[in-house]
Chains A and B, each alone.
Chain A
Amino acid sequence: MMILEADRLAITFGGVRAIDGVSISIPCGQVFSIIGPNGSGKTTLINLVSGIYTPQDGSIRLAGDTVTGLAPDQLARRGLSRTFQNLQIFSRMSVLENVMVGRHRHERTGILADLLHWPSVGRQNEATREAAHTALARVGLAVVAERPAGSLDYGALKRLEIARALASEPMVLLLDEPAAGCNPVETQEIDRVIRSIVKEGITVVLVEHDMRLVMNISDRVHVLARGRTLAEGTPEQVRSNAEVIEAYLGVHGSQEAAHALD
């Protein structure tokens, strides 16, 4: 079953077709990676799928329902969450509180109850706190739960974003360059976290530059170049695709590119 489908998506920015007729079909419970050279439209595609941009053409289906044009919060309530390439941390809040916000779509209290602190709010807070702790433990951040989020190092913040999105219990999780700027040890940790997420049946859509991570972990890889689909297939198929190699470093650098893709 396809959990997330995009059909001939297109969007133009200032006369440039940033995404030009891209279709993707993502099977449930897999790791689906989107790769491509800088400026190929990876992040634009993710922004379209997560509702941050509205496509000018094409349609998007989530778990069989057409969701084209829905806002990010509406999509989140339907079970699609994401992280950001440039971190979007709630830096005034503690690490735990950041993840507690991730529970928002599961919290059932009204504004009046919140103001009067009805018993239901206390119970809700406890349940939220507990679920947030669990999510933090999964990415190995339980020990820093009470620290201000702004005090964590870069690699930890990357994992905090994943924990926050996980806390919302999504069906589909979009990770926008989770390993960017991470050292090899931190990348290993991201690898481990992604594997544990998929084991739970959550579909992961991964946009990533770290080819070793992509090739290790993906079930399918979709390659973009200049806003269009260049190739799609298993990591092995993509790695040996001449067009992909050429797109990455040009004909002259194809040796290097082949090496980079290995």
Chain B
Amino acid sequence: MSLRALLEARLLPVILVVAIVIVLPLFFPSAYYYRIGALVFIFALAVVGLNLLMGFAGQVSLGHAGFLGIGAYSVAIGPVQFGAPSWLCLFVGAILSGAVAFAVGRPILKLKGHYLAVATLGFGLLVAIVLTNEAGWTGGPDGMNVPPLMLFGWRVHGSDVWYWLAGATFVGGFMLALNLMESPTGRALQAIHDSEIAARVLGIDVARKKVTIFIISAMYASVAGSFLALFNGLITPDVAGFLGSIELVAMVVLGGMGSIFGSLVGAAVLVVLPQVLTVFHEYEQALLGLIVMVFMIFLRQGIVPSIAAVLNGWRK
């Protein structure tokens, strides 16, 4: 492969994603669409992180909303209880999430398949319960208000501003993920997915690599959670709940396991569809479920990899 082709292969997805972020608002008829767009990018960020864990390293997590919750409550509790600036709390939250992932990851990532799924599920529930019960800090089940984000003396507000902020952050997270996959660590993770035993006899410290990617994916979720809290201005323990974790997993699988770009598509579908389906009132949830099922039946590997396979077939 020539250097030029290599550059193109590496840069193409980034250019595509940047173009999407910039061009999309041209078709937005109202501020409401900026709001939806911002939500898509925020969720997509968390989904990219989870996809690194699930799609590349092959380790499932049914508790990832727990990290979303840690990030969200960091930017709520930090400024309210300690008067710390929100942006600092976002970073502290990410580091805290990483530390929790390290502590939890070492024992539970020894488990495989369904056992790992149940263990991570338990972790997510634990976070949600702590957030609900520590009412003195978190406001309990009613949640708490989140002070607005201040950057360089400006108060960040308005859906359009959040759209650009979330879009830019997503592009950053997207690039980091692409970089990781084209690196020694990325190759080791993909190797672990296919054969742990073969990875080990080639000198890969499997346990350590799994914990590393668990920490990274937790930090992605944490930053996304902080954004979500700051953007909404209000946060409840539901953010860390079981349904939230399931939604993240559904976004990964729907977009395509192991497809970083698919993470954006999966998040977009599951954020936008419920908005579109509100016209069906009480049948909204049922239709959503039906559509997701149809997607999975016909695009078995997820939207992006399935379409890519079809396009490759045509080219030949």
> Which of B26-34, B83-91, B187-195, B274-282 makes up part of the contact surface?
B187-195
Residue of A nearest to B185 (CB): A114
Mask: chain A, 188-204; 1 = CB below 8 Å from B; 0 = not: 00000000000000000
Cβ–Cβ < 8 Å partners of A93 in chain B:
187, 190-191, 194
B203 at the interface (CB under 8 A from A): yes
A151 at the interface (CB under 8 A from B): no
Q: Which of chain B's residues 141-199 have a Cβ closer than 8 Å to chain A?
A: 176, 179-180, 182-188, 190-191, 193-195, 197-199
> Which of A26-34, A95-103, A253-261 makes up part of the contact surface?
A95-103
Cβ–Cβ < 8 Å partners of A121 in chain B:
179, 182-184
Least distance between B99 CB and chain A CB atoms (Å): 15
Least distance between A160 CB and chain B CB atoms (Å): 11
Considering the chains assembled together, what is the distance between the CA atoms of A90 and B204 in angstroms?
Answer: 14
> Which of A36-44, A73-81, A135-143 makes up part of the contact surface?
A73-81
Query: Is the beta-carbon distance between B185 and A72 smaller than 8 angstroms?
Result: no
A82 at the interface (CB under 8 A from B): yes
Cβ–Cβ < 8 Å partners of A73 in chain B:
199-206
Query: Is the beta-carbon distance between A114 and B180 smaller than 8 angstroms?
Result: yes
A171 at the interface (CB under 8 A from B): no
Query: Is the beta-carbon distance between B201 and A50 smaller than 8 angstroms?
Result: yes
Query: Is the beta-carbon distance between B191 and A114 smaller than 8 angstroms?
Result: no
Cβ–Cβ < 8 Å partners of B194 in chain A:
89-93
Query: Is the beta-carbon distance between B198 and A92 smaller than 8 angstroms?
Result: no
Least distance between B123 CB and chain A CB atoms (Å): 22
Cβ–Cβ < 8 Å partners of A212 in chain B:
none
A124 at the interface (CB under 8 A from B): yes
Query: Is the beta-carbon distance between A76 and B202 smaller than 8 angstroms?
Result: yes
Considering the chains assembled together, what is the distance between the CA atoms of A117 and B186 in angstroms?
Answer: 11
- Interface range on chain B (Cβ under 8 Å from partner): 20 to 34
Check A104/B176 contact, CB under 8 A, given A73-B201, A73-B204, A76-B203.
no
Considering the chains assembled together, what is the distance between the CA atoms of A75 and B202 in angstroms?
Answer: 9
Considering the chains assembled together, what is the distance between the CA atoms of A102 and B198 in angstroms?
Answer: 9
> Which of A12-20, A57-65, A105-113, A224-232 makes up part of the contact surface?
A105-113
Least distance between A67 CB and chain B CB atoms (Å): 14
Query: Is the beta-carbon distance between A92 and B176 smaller than 8 angstroms?
Result: no
Check A72/B184 contact, CB under 8 A, given A92-B193, A93-B191.
no
Residue of A nearest to B188 (CB): A104
Query: Is the beta-carbon distance between B202 and A168 smaller than 8 angstroms?
Result: yes
Query: Is the beta-carbon distance between A116 and B176 smaller than 8 angstroms?
Result: yes
A84 at the interface (CB under 8 A from B): yes
Query: Is the beta-carbon distance between B202 and A114 smaller than 8 angstroms?
Result: no
Query: Is the beta-carbon distance between B190 and A90 smaller than 8 angstroms?
Result: yes
B259 at the interface (CB under 8 A from A): no
Considering the chains assembled together, what is the distance between the CA atoms of A72 and B199 in angstroms?
Answer: 9
Cβ–Cβ < 8 Å partners of B182 in chain A:
117, 121, 125
Interface residues in A, total, Cβ within 8 A = 38
Least distance between B252 CB and chain A CB atoms (Å): 16
B212 at the interface (CB under 8 A from A): yes
Least distance between A130 CB and chain B CB atoms (Å): 13
A115 at the interface (CB under 8 A from B): yes
A52 at the interface (CB under 8 A from B): yes
Query: Is the beta-carbon distance between A105 and B202 smaller than 8 angstroms?
Result: yes
Query: Is the beta-carbon distance between B183 and A165 smaller than 8 angstroms?
Result: no
Query: Is the beta-carbon distance between B185 and A90 smaller than 8 angstroms?
Result: no
A71 at the interface (CB under 8 A from B): yes
Of A76, A89, A104, A165, the most chain B CB neighbours within 10 A belong to: A104
Cβ–Cβ < 8 Å partners of A102 in chain B:
202
Cβ–Cβ < 8 Å partners of B206 in chain A:
73
Cβ–Cβ < 8 Å partners of B184 in chain A:
104, 107, 109, 114, 121, 124-125, 128
Query: Is the beta-carbon distance between A101 and B188 smaller than 8 angstroms?
Result: yes
Residue of A nearest to B198 (CB): A88
A164 at the interface (CB under 8 A from B): yes
Least distance between A243 CB and chain B CB atoms (Å): 33
Least distance between A158 CB and chain B CB atoms (Å): 13
Residue of B nearest to A117 (CB): B179
| Residues of A participating in the B interface, judged by any CB pair closer than 8 Å | 50, 52, 71-73, 75-77, 81-82, 84, 88-93, 97, 100-102, 104-105, 107, 109, 111, 113-117, 121, 124-125, 128, 164-165, 168
User: What are 19 residue pairs bridging A and B, where the CB atoms are less than 8 Å apart in the complex?
Assistant: A72-B197, A73-B199, A76-B200, A90-B190, A90-B195, A92-B193, A92-B258, A93-B187, A100-B187, A101-B187, A104-B184, A104-B188, A105-B202, A109-B184, A113-B183, A117-B179, A121-B183, A124-B184, A168-B203
Since A116-B179, A165-B201 are in contact, a sample of 18 more A-B pairs with Cβ atoms closer than 8 Å, ordered by chain A residue number, is A71-B200, A72-B197, A72-B200, A73-B199, A73-B200, A76-B202, A81-B203, A89-B194, A90-B193, A93-B187, A93-B191, A97-B187, A101-B190, A101-B202, A111-B212, A114-B180, A114-B183, A114-B186
4 interchain residue pairs of minimum CB distance = A105-B203, A114-B183, A76-B203, A88-B198
